[in-house]
Amino acid sequence: MTEHKDTADIACRVALVTGASGGIGTAIARALAGRGTLVAAVDKDADGLTDLVEKMAADGLTAVAFPADVTDSGRINEVVDRIETELGAVDLLVNAAGVMRAGSALEMSDRDWRAIFSINLDGVFHCSRAVASRMKERGEGAIVTVASNAGRIPRVHMAAYGASKAAASLYTKSLGLELAEYGIRCNVVSPGSTDTDMLRSLWSAESDRQTTLDGSMDTYKTGIPLRRIAEPGDIADAVVFLASDRARHITMQDLCVDGGAILGV
Protein backbone atom coordinates (compact mmCIF):
# COMPACT_ATOMS: atom_id res chain seq x y z
CA MET A 1 0.00 0.00 0.00
CA THR A 2 1.37 3.43 -0.94
CA GLU A 3 1.16 6.13 1.70
CA HIS A 4 0.12 9.54 0.46
CA LYS A 5 -1.19 12.87 1.64
CA ASP A 6 -4.64 12.58 0.13
CA THR A 7 -6.86 14.20 2.76
CA ALA A 8 -9.95 14.46 0.57
CA ASP A 9 -11.17 10.99 1.48
CA ILE A 10 -10.47 10.96 5.22
CA ALA A 11 -12.89 12.36 7.75
CA CYS A 12 -10.81 12.32 10.94
CA ARG A 13 -8.27 14.67 12.47
CA VAL A 14 -7.30 12.53 15.49
CA ALA A 15 -7.40 8.73 15.43
CA LEU A 16 -6.84 6.37 18.34
CA VAL A 17 -5.42 3.07 17.12
CA THR A 18 -5.03 0.17 19.56
CA GLY A 19 -2.56 -2.64 18.94
CA ALA A 20 -0.52 -0.06 17.05
CA SER A 21 2.83 -1.78 17.46
CA GLY A 22 1.59 -5.00 15.79
CA GLY A 23 1.45 -5.88 12.10
CA ILE A 24 -2.08 -4.79 11.15
CA GLY A 25 -2.21 -2.05 13.80
CA THR A 26 1.05 -0.57 12.53
CA ALA A 27 -0.20 -0.61 8.94
CA ILE A 28 -3.38 1.18 10.01
CA ALA A 29 -1.48 3.81 11.96
CA ARG A 30 0.80 4.49 9.01
CA ALA A 31 -2.06 4.57 6.50
CA LEU A 32 -4.01 7.10 8.55
CA ALA A 33 -0.97 9.26 9.26
CA GLY A 34 -0.12 9.18 5.57
CA ARG A 35 -3.44 10.90 4.94
CA GLY A 36 -2.78 13.70 7.41
CA THR A 37 -4.39 12.18 10.51
CA LEU A 38 -2.74 12.65 13.90
CA VAL A 39 -2.47 9.14 15.32
CA ALA A 40 -2.65 8.33 19.02
CA ALA A 41 -0.89 4.96 19.06
CA VAL A 42 -1.98 2.70 21.92
CA ASP A 43 -0.37 -0.62 22.83
CA LYS A 44 0.85 -2.32 26.00
CA ASP A 45 4.27 -2.75 24.34
CA ALA A 46 5.86 0.58 25.28
CA ASP A 47 9.17 -0.18 23.55
CA GLY A 48 7.33 -1.22 20.40
CA LEU A 49 5.38 2.04 20.42
CA THR A 50 8.55 4.09 20.80
CA ASP A 51 10.09 2.27 17.84
CA LEU A 52 6.94 2.80 15.77
CA VAL A 53 6.74 6.54 16.50
CA GLU A 54 10.42 7.03 15.69
CA LYS A 55 10.19 5.14 12.40
CA MET A 56 7.06 7.01 11.40
CA ALA A 57 8.69 10.35 12.23
CA ALA A 58 11.64 9.41 10.02
CA ASP A 59 9.13 8.92 7.20
CA GLY A 60 7.45 12.26 7.86
CA LEU A 61 4.42 10.74 9.59
CA THR A 62 3.03 11.88 12.94
CA ALA A 63 2.06 9.60 15.78
CA VAL A 64 2.16 9.94 19.55
CA ALA A 65 2.69 6.94 21.84
CA PHE A 66 0.28 6.20 24.68
CA PRO A 67 1.27 2.91 26.34
CA ALA A 68 -1.75 1.13 27.80
CA ASP A 69 -3.26 -2.32 28.23
CA VAL A 70 -6.72 -2.46 26.68
CA THR A 71 -7.81 -5.00 29.31
CA ASP A 72 -7.49 -2.30 32.02
CA SER A 73 -10.62 -0.16 31.75
CA GLY A 74 -9.39 2.42 34.27
CA ARG A 75 -6.14 2.90 32.40
CA ILE A 76 -7.98 3.22 29.09
CA ASN A 77 -10.21 5.95 30.52
CA GLU A 78 -7.10 7.82 31.70
CA VAL A 79 -5.40 7.48 28.33
CA VAL A 80 -8.44 8.68 26.39
CA ASP A 81 -8.60 11.73 28.69
CA ARG A 82 -4.92 12.41 28.00
CA ILE A 83 -5.31 12.02 24.26
CA GLU A 84 -8.24 14.41 24.09
CA THR A 85 -6.42 16.93 26.31
CA GLU A 86 -3.09 16.75 24.50
CA LEU A 87 -4.09 16.04 20.88
CA GLY A 88 -7.74 17.00 20.57
CA ALA A 89 -11.07 15.23 20.22
CA VAL A 90 -10.83 11.65 18.93
CA ASP A 91 -12.68 11.45 15.61
CA LEU A 92 -11.84 7.80 14.91
CA LEU A 93 -11.27 4.75 17.09
CA VAL A 94 -9.72 1.67 15.52
CA ASN A 95 -9.87 -1.42 17.73
CA ALA A 96 -6.95 -3.37 16.28
CA ALA A 97 -5.48 -4.94 19.44
CA GLY A 98 -5.84 -8.69 19.36
CA VAL A 99 -4.32 -11.99 20.38
CA MET A 100 -4.60 -15.55 19.09
CA ARG A 101 -4.00 -18.74 21.04
CA ALA A 102 -4.90 -21.83 19.06
CA GLY A 103 -6.14 -24.89 20.86
CA SER A 104 -8.79 -27.58 21.10
CA ALA A 105 -12.25 -26.38 22.10
CA LEU A 106 -12.26 -29.00 24.86
CA GLU A 107 -8.67 -28.76 26.03
CA MET A 108 -8.11 -24.99 26.11
CA SER A 109 -7.22 -23.78 29.60
CA ASP A 110 -9.24 -21.22 31.54
CA ARG A 111 -6.20 -18.94 31.44
CA ASP A 112 -5.90 -19.00 27.64
CA TRP A 113 -9.66 -18.57 27.17
CA ARG A 114 -9.71 -15.57 29.48
CA ALA A 115 -6.61 -14.04 27.86
CA ILE A 116 -8.21 -14.23 24.42
CA PHE A 117 -11.51 -12.72 25.49
CA SER A 118 -9.96 -10.06 27.74
CA ILE A 119 -8.12 -8.53 24.78
CA ASN A 120 -10.27 -9.38 21.76
CA LEU A 121 -13.62 -8.58 23.38
CA ASP A 122 -13.15 -6.76 26.68
CA GLY A 123 -10.55 -4.49 25.09
CA VAL A 124 -13.00 -3.50 22.35
CA PHE A 125 -15.65 -2.79 24.98
CA HIS A 126 -13.32 -0.71 27.20
CA CYS A 127 -11.98 1.42 24.37
CA SER A 128 -15.30 1.84 22.57
CA ARG A 129 -17.09 2.86 25.76
CA ALA A 130 -14.43 5.40 26.69
CA VAL A 131 -14.27 7.00 23.25
CA ALA A 132 -17.91 6.70 22.16
CA SER A 133 -19.22 8.42 25.29
CA ARG A 134 -17.24 11.48 24.25
CA MET A 135 -18.21 11.16 20.58
CA LYS A 136 -21.86 11.03 21.62
CA GLU A 137 -21.59 14.42 23.33
CA ARG A 138 -20.06 15.91 20.17
CA GLY A 139 -22.47 14.21 17.78
CA GLU A 140 -19.86 12.80 15.39
CA GLY A 141 -17.21 10.13 15.02
CA ALA A 142 -16.44 6.69 13.65
CA ILE A 143 -15.39 3.37 15.16
CA VAL A 144 -13.86 0.46 13.27
CA THR A 145 -13.20 -2.88 14.95
CA VAL A 146 -10.75 -5.32 13.40
CA ALA A 147 -12.33 -8.75 13.85
CA SER A 148 -11.64 -11.88 11.75
CA ASN A 149 -13.25 -14.11 9.16
CA ALA A 150 -12.82 -16.80 11.85
CA GLY A 151 -15.71 -15.06 13.61
CA ARG A 152 -18.01 -16.03 10.73
CA ILE A 153 -17.22 -19.70 10.20
CA PRO A 154 -16.06 -22.61 12.42
CA ARG A 155 -12.34 -23.35 12.44
CA VAL A 156 -10.53 -26.31 13.97
CA HIS A 157 -8.53 -25.26 17.06
CA MET A 158 -9.81 -21.67 16.84
CA ALA A 159 -13.03 -21.89 18.86
CA ALA A 160 -12.02 -19.31 21.45
CA TYR A 161 -10.46 -16.92 18.95
CA GLY A 162 -13.41 -17.15 16.58
CA ALA A 163 -15.94 -16.74 19.37
CA SER A 164 -14.15 -13.67 20.71
CA LYS A 165 -14.07 -12.05 17.28
CA ALA A 166 -17.72 -12.90 16.59
CA ALA A 167 -18.66 -11.28 19.88
CA ALA A 168 -16.57 -8.19 19.16
CA SER A 169 -18.21 -7.86 15.77
CA LEU A 170 -21.76 -8.08 17.12
CA TYR A 171 -20.92 -5.69 19.96
CA THR A 172 -19.62 -3.15 17.45
CA LYS A 173 -22.73 -3.46 15.28
CA SER A 174 -25.01 -3.13 18.31
CA LEU A 175 -23.08 -0.07 19.40
CA GLY A 176 -23.56 1.34 15.92
CA LEU A 177 -27.31 0.91 16.21
CA GLU A 178 -27.42 2.77 19.51
CA LEU A 179 -25.17 5.58 18.28
CA ALA A 180 -26.61 6.07 14.79
CA GLU A 181 -28.93 8.87 15.90
CA TYR A 182 -25.86 10.80 17.05
CA GLY A 183 -24.16 10.57 13.66
CA ILE A 184 -21.59 8.01 14.83
CA ARG A 185 -20.79 5.12 12.50
CA CYS A 186 -19.54 1.76 13.78
CA ASN A 187 -18.20 -0.85 11.37
CA VAL A 188 -16.10 -4.01 11.33
CA VAL A 189 -13.24 -5.19 9.13
CA SER A 190 -12.71 -8.97 9.16
CA PRO A 191 -9.32 -10.05 7.79
CA GLY A 192 -8.48 -13.55 6.68
CA SER A 193 -4.94 -14.94 6.63
CA THR A 194 -2.64 -11.92 6.74
CA ASP A 195 1.16 -11.89 6.64
CA THR A 196 1.84 -11.03 10.28
CA ASP A 197 3.69 -12.55 13.23
CA MET A 198 0.33 -13.85 14.47
CA LEU A 199 -0.21 -15.91 11.31
CA ARG A 200 3.38 -17.13 11.19
CA SER A 201 3.11 -18.31 14.80
CA LEU A 202 0.62 -20.91 13.57
CA TRP A 203 3.04 -22.34 11.02
CA SER A 204 5.43 -25.13 11.99
CA ALA A 205 6.65 -26.29 8.56
CA GLU A 206 7.78 -24.71 5.29
CA SER A 207 4.72 -26.14 3.56
CA ASP A 208 2.27 -24.32 5.83
CA ARG A 209 2.19 -21.18 3.68
CA GLN A 210 1.17 -23.25 0.67
CA THR A 211 -1.39 -25.12 2.75
CA THR A 212 -2.91 -21.79 3.75
CA LEU A 213 -3.35 -20.97 0.06
CA ASP A 214 -4.58 -24.44 -0.91
CA GLY A 215 -6.74 -25.26 2.08
CA SER A 216 -6.97 -28.51 4.02
CA MET A 217 -9.62 -31.20 3.77
CA ASP A 218 -8.46 -32.63 7.11
CA THR A 219 -9.47 -29.41 8.90
CA TYR A 220 -12.45 -28.58 6.66
CA LYS A 221 -10.75 -25.34 5.61
CA THR A 222 -10.99 -23.85 2.16
CA GLY A 223 -7.99 -22.18 0.60
CA ILE A 224 -7.81 -18.63 -0.70
CA PRO A 225 -9.46 -18.22 -4.13
CA LEU A 226 -7.39 -15.11 -4.96
CA ARG A 227 -4.25 -17.20 -4.35
CA ARG A 228 -2.45 -14.72 -2.13
CA ILE A 229 -2.05 -14.07 1.55
CA ALA A 230 -3.11 -10.55 2.50
CA GLU A 231 -0.59 -7.91 3.45
CA PRO A 232 -1.35 -5.72 6.50
CA GLY A 233 -1.80 -2.79 4.14
CA ASP A 234 -4.76 -4.55 2.52
CA ILE A 235 -6.55 -4.48 5.85
CA ALA A 236 -5.49 -0.91 6.55
CA ASP A 237 -6.98 0.23 3.25
CA ALA A 238 -10.36 -1.20 4.26
CA VAL A 239 -10.19 0.57 7.62
CA VAL A 240 -9.28 3.87 5.99
CA PHE A 241 -12.23 3.56 3.61
CA LEU A 242 -14.71 2.93 6.43
CA ALA A 243 -13.27 5.89 8.34
CA SER A 244 -13.62 8.21 5.37
CA ASP A 245 -16.38 10.49 4.11
CA ARG A 246 -16.74 8.10 1.19
CA ALA A 247 -18.32 5.68 3.69
CA ARG A 248 -20.48 8.34 5.34
CA HIS A 249 -23.68 6.32 4.82
CA ILE A 250 -22.21 2.98 5.90
CA THR A 251 -22.66 1.71 9.45
CA MET A 252 -23.12 -1.64 11.23
CA GLN A 253 -21.37 -3.45 8.35
CA ASP A 254 -18.68 -6.15 8.40
CA LEU A 255 -16.24 -5.88 5.47
CA CYS A 256 -14.47 -9.21 4.99
CA VAL A 257 -10.95 -8.91 3.52
CA ASP A 258 -9.85 -12.50 3.02
CA GLY A 259 -9.37 -13.13 -0.69
CA GLY A 260 -12.59 -15.15 -0.74
CA ALA A 261 -11.43 -17.68 1.85
CA ILE A 262 -14.84 -18.15 3.46
CA LEU A 263 -16.62 -17.97 0.11
CA GLY A 264 -18.56 -14.82 0.96
CA VAL A 265 -20.27 -16.23 4.04
**Region for residue 26 given its phi and psi (left: phi exceeds 0; alpha: psi -120 to 50; beta: otherwise):** alpha
CA 135 to chain centre: 19
Q: Determine which one of 161, 171, 182, 220 is catalytic.
A: 161
Give the angle subtended at the CA of 153 by the CAs of 144 and 173, to the nearest 5°: 30
DSSP string, 135-176: HHHHT-EEEEEE--GGGTS--TTBHHHHHHHHHHHHHHHHHH
Query: Do 32 and 39 touch, CB atoms closer than 8 A?
Result: yes
Calpha distance 126→171 (Å, rounded): 12
For this structure, is 171 an active site residue? Answer: no
Q: Which residues are catalytic?
A: 161
